[in-house]
Structure 1
Amino acid sequence: MKVYGITNCNTVKKALDWLKGHNVAYEFQDFKKLGVTEEKLKEWDAKAGYEKFMNKQGLTWKQLDPQVKESIKTNADALKLLQQKTSMIKRPVIEDGDFLFFGFDEGVYEDKLIR
């Protein structure tokens, strides 16, 4: 399983604590240190749609220039912005085989990640 996020994000911290507490093994990728590839964003977009993981509730989105927000007309536009501003990706991102989830939800984690 791979977990993507930012180490200082409270939601990511909760998720990682939950995974550790339930002895779920994972590999962590920090968006701030390693970024995320265009290919990975395209993969997530194909599986879930970028709207599912573009966080429009966060500070990064809210601080964007209105012209930048309005310039997002296509998936490619959105993915390019997400690659530049990884803090706009809903966190954490959990990948485990065919399972792909954005955010933290104990019920979903228990259902999908406990074996």
Structure 2
Amino acid sequence: MVTIYGIKNCDTVRKSLKWFDAKGVENKLHDFRVDGIDVKTIAGWLDEVGGKVLINKRGPSYRNLSDTDKATLEQGGPAAAEILVANPTVIKRPVVDFGNTRTVAYDEARWAELAGV
């Protein structure tokens, strides 16, 4: 089963869910706002894909962060993960967890490869 992390009212997350359903790939949505997210999970993502990939600097949520928080996100580490837990809408969506691998953002070609469809 594939876990799609994001926010249910995000257009890209909805588009992702439809893509996986259309391909017959079993999936579930993990909504940051409803289900929450923990520091350990986000720290793992930061280690795996890096902040440049995981953090959405173009959205209003990032722009509304303090300069101190933005600097902490640049440095990475556990403190950056804590900021992302408190502000999950700063995470680029969707994060798709295939079990052994995660992808960030909408990427049909990579998903097809990882899901074998």
Same fold (TM over 0.5): yes
Q: Deviations over 1:24-80 (max 9, x none)?
A: 101221001111111111221222223321111111001223343234444222111
Gaps of 5+ in 2: none
| Residue in 2 that maps onto 1:17 | 18
User: 1:56-95 maps to which residues of 2 (within 5 A)?
Assistant: 56-72=57-73, 73-95=75-97
The Cα of 1:97 is off from its aligned counterpart by 2.2
Q: Secondary structure at the match of 2:93?
A: coil
**Contact residue 94 and residue 106 of structure 2 kept, 8 A:** yes
1:83 Cα deviation (Å)? 0.4
The alignment of Structure 1 onto Structure 2 pairs a total of residues equal to 115
How many percent identity over aligned positions? 27
Q: TM-score normalised to the size of structure 2? A: 0.87
User: 2: CA distance between counterparts of 1:40 and 1:59?
Assistant: 23
Matched AA of 1:86:
P
Q: Where in structure 1 do 4 or more consecutive aligned residues deviate above 6 Å?
A: none
Contact 1:50 1:79 in 2 (8 A): no
1:98 match: 100
Aligned mates of 2:68, 2:40 — CA distance in 1: 26
Cα RMSD of the aligned pairs, angstroms, is 1.6
**1:55 match: secondary structure:** coil
Task: Give the Cα–Cα distance (whole angstroms) in 2 for the partners of residues 110 and 12 of structure 1.
Answer: 16
Alignment gaps of 5+ in structure 1 = none
Q: Which segment is superposed worse, 42-51 or 63-72? A: 63-72
Greater RCO structure (CA 8 Å; 6+ sep): 1
Cα gap change, 1:109 to 1:71, in 2 (>3 Å):
closer
Counterpart-to-counterpart distance in 2, 1:68 and 1:99: 28
**Equivalent position amino acid for 1:35 in 2:** G
